[in-house]
Amino acid sequence: MGFFSRDINTMDDLFVHTLRDMYYAEKQILQALPDMIDKAADPQLKQGFQTHLGETRNQVKRLEEVFRLHGKEVSGVDCPAIDGIIEEADDVAGEAADKAVLDAALIAAAQAVEHYEISRYGTLVAWAKQLGRNDCAALLQQNLDEEKATDKKLTAMAESNINRRAA
């Protein structure tokens, strides 16, 4: 189903579609993170990815709770955007032989994922409130806060040692 297909007529349809897009995206991220944990050379980065894997599992559960609260079946829809971001990360990380360069590539890829998630969750929180679903908005806000915190940690790592060692 395309983003502006005829199946999306109301704000509620759009909200549920975007919820399903994020449900699919989080599941793809769950599959991609173990590989990023394996590849990361810096122990702090490895630990950071490990922590976010645990958070991501909880985020999937929160999304399932949002579906339940909103009375919709839990399901995902293909999200070509996240597939592309993850695919590009695999390509770039697969080519970097130097460990520090590889870590820099992994951080950059992870930040692209976080920014995608921040954008989508920001939208979902706003739409949930607009639809009078403050209960759903509160859960989505928790996911948003975790993505923002992860993005900040990645920036701090990129700015401290990892990028400097790669230079």
Nearer to Fe ion, 18 or 56 (CB): 56
CA-to-CA distance for 60 and 14, rounded, in angstroms? 19
Q: What is the closest distance, in whole angstroms, from the C-beta atom of residue 84 to Fe ion in the complex? A: 16
Q: What is the closest distance, in whole angstroms, from the C-beta atom of residue 98 to Fe ion in the complex? A: 26
Q: What is the closest distance, in whole angstroms, from the C-beta atom of residue 51 to Fe ion in the complex? A: 11
CA-to-CA distance for 106 and 93, rounded, in angstroms? 6
Do residues 107 and 124 touch, judged by C-beta distance below 8 A?
A: no
Q: What is the closest distance, in whole angstroms, from the C-beta atom of residue 9 to Fe ion in the complex? A: 28
Query: What is the contact surface with Fe ion in residues (CB under 5 A)?
Result: 56, 59, 117, 147
CA-to-CA distance for 120 and 8, rounded, in angstroms? 17
CA-to-CA distance for 102 and 104, rounded, in angstroms? 5
First to last CA, the chain: 44
Nearer to Fe ion, 56 or 141 (CB): 56
Nearer to Fe ion, 88 or 95 (CB): 88
Nearer to Fe ion, 34 or 98 (CB): 34
